[in-house]
A and B are shown apart, each in its own frame.
Chain A
Amino acid sequence: MCLAIPAKVVRIEGDRAEIEVGGVRREASLALVADAGVSVGDYVLVHTGYAIAKIREDEAEEILKAWKEVLSEG
């Protein structure tokens, strides 16, 4: 029930967004991520109709890079 799904923001109007999950479009509220600077094209995590976090892709890259380095030592 705490499941949140990554979704792509395709349109924004005020604090509402149209999001796309696996080809299906639906609406979500951006009220909880108002300070995250979400724009069209960004990915957000959506839970019961609300975006709860902007997914920062660069962070994912960085952590993978860091682990790759750690794993290749030794």
Chain B
Amino acid sequence: MLSKFRDRELVRKVTERILEESRGISVRIMHVCGTHEWTITHFGIRDLLPENIEVVAGPGCPVCVTPGSEIDLIAELSQRDGVIVTTFGDVIRVPGTRTSLSEAKTRGGDVRLVYGIEEAVRIARQEKGKEVVHFSIGFETTAPMAAVEILKGPPENFSIFSTHKLIPPAMEFLLKSGLSLDGFICPGHVSTIIGVRPYRRLAEKYRKPMVVAGFEPLDVMLGILSVVRQIRDDKWGVENEYTRAVREEGNVIALKSISEVFEVADAWWRGIGRIESSGLRLRGRFKDFDVVSKFGLEVPSEDYMPEGCGCGEVLKGVMKPEDCPLFGKECTPNRPIGPCMVSLEGTCSIVYKYRRFRPKDAEK
């Protein structure tokens, strides 16, 4: 079924259309999803676009925007006797301000990689004498699983450190901050959960066209065409091109579970700053599963970026990874300096892996 979304002939036609319909206007579109960046870079979509159309990556990688101080906190927790920290594979190498989870593991911390939070709960059931703390990180896509597991009633020795973040408040933050942005490609999987409505308010308020798109090359191209067309026609709505997975109202069960378990709070985005109402923390009645109250932790609200790292600018779409002075030199996926080079969905790591040896670059 998906092969139809790679139909070369159709992609060619869409490309032509974009070229034709964008004549005389220049358009800067932001996407906020690591997987979109992967599709765009992997299939060389930027090379297909005319010069007047720019597609930039925004803060679409949850691992990249997790504050270093929170990584320190969880890494240090893993050093305590009887504590097991569980998390996703991408997170472990991200440098905090003092340490990372992988360093903590080398120093003897019990850090385990899990495929999902369900596995973390299972570990807690098996390791009864120990405290299992799940580093619960992710956007709206990942929050429902945490919510469902908390609602199911995990064992007493289980808790989470919630650093879940919400995409629409971050989009609004960028729109408000006056960056030059003409439209958005909204993240497909986040939208599977939140639906199309949250974007409608933003599109209307800031008069910016948006499109919810899937992850095949044709999805992204059609998304770009949709934004271009709206701009040309002086419109600003939200089009849903990913109807095969995204409903207007989103995933109602997931949304209900999230709001039962979590409340919205301000959150710190690494490299960007504090964004109002952009995070999720456990509601008071679930405080027994909240590592912050369980262990009496202080979550520092400070940010730190490695010296010379341009991640903050990269995450806002202001700087291209290639323009960071450390890119490909001091900072590579094997020896990452900034968080955007660590995560598989970090813009720098994607661009490094898939663009570096493209013929276009080799000619330079």
Cβ-based interface call for B241 (8 A): yes
Seed contacts A34-B253, A56-B243, A56-B244; 6 additional CB < 8 Å A-B pairs? A35-B252, A45-B245, A52-B189, A53-B251, A71-B14, A72-B13
Q: Is the CB of A4 within 8 A of B4?
A: no
Q: Is the CB of A1 within 8 A of B63?
A: yes
Cβ-based interface call for B1 (8 A): yes
* Residues in chain B within 8 A of chain A (CB atoms): 1-2, 4-5, 10, 13-14, 17, 33-35, 60-63, 88, 90, 115-119, 137-139, 141-142, 144-145, 148, 187, 189-190, 192-193, 222, 241, 243-246, 251-254, 257, 343, 345
With both beta carbons as reference points, the residue of chain B lying nearest to A58 in the complex is identified as: B244
For the complex, give the distance between the alpha carbons of A45 and B244 in Å.
Answer: 10
In the complex, which residues of chain A have a beta carbon less than 8 angstroms from the beta carbon of B145? 32, 47-50
For the complex, give the distance between the alpha carbons of A48 and B2 in Å.
Answer: 21
Shortest C-beta distance, A22 to chain B (Å), equals 12
In the complex, which residues of chain A have a beta carbon less than 8 angstroms from the beta carbon of B35? 2-3
Q: Is the CB of A64 within 8 A of B4?
A: yes
The contact size tier of chain A is: 20 to 34
For the complex, give the distance between the alpha carbons of A35 and B251 in Å.
Answer: 9
In the complex, which residues of chain B have a beta carbon less than 8 angstroms from the beta carbon of A56? 243-245
| A17-45 interface code vs B (CB 8 A; 1 in, 0 out) | 00000000000010111110000000101
Question: Pick the contact of A50 from B2, B34, B139, B148 — CB < 8 Å?
Answer: B148
Question: Pick the contact of A3 from B148, B189, B222, B254 — CB < 8 Å?
Answer: B189
Question: Pick the contact of B139 from A2, A6, A52, A62 — CB < 8 Å?
Answer: A2
If the complex has contacts A1-B142, A2-B34, A50-B144, are A29 and B251 also in contact, measured as CB distance less than 8 A?
no
* Residues in chain A within 8 A of chain B (CB atoms): 1-4, 6, 29, 31-35, 43, 45, 47-50, 52-53, 55-57, 59-60, 62-64, 67-68, 71-72
Q: Is the CB of B62 within 8 A of A68?
A: no
A-B residue pairs in contact (CB < 8 Å), sample of 5: A1-B139, A2-B142, A3-B189, A50-B144, A59-B244
With both beta carbons as reference points, the residue of chain A lying nearest to B190 in the complex is identified as: A2
In the complex, which residues of chain A have a beta carbon less than 8 angstroms from the beta carbon of B187? 2
Q: Is the CB of B251 within 8 A of A49?
A: no
Q: Is the CB of A71 within 8 A of B193?
A: no
Question: Pick the contact of A33 from B5, B10, B251 — CB < 8 Å?
Answer: B251
Question: Pick the contact of B119 from A32, A49, A68 — CB < 8 Å?
Answer: A49
Question: Pick the contact of A2 from B14, B62, B116, B254 — CB < 8 Å?
Answer: B62
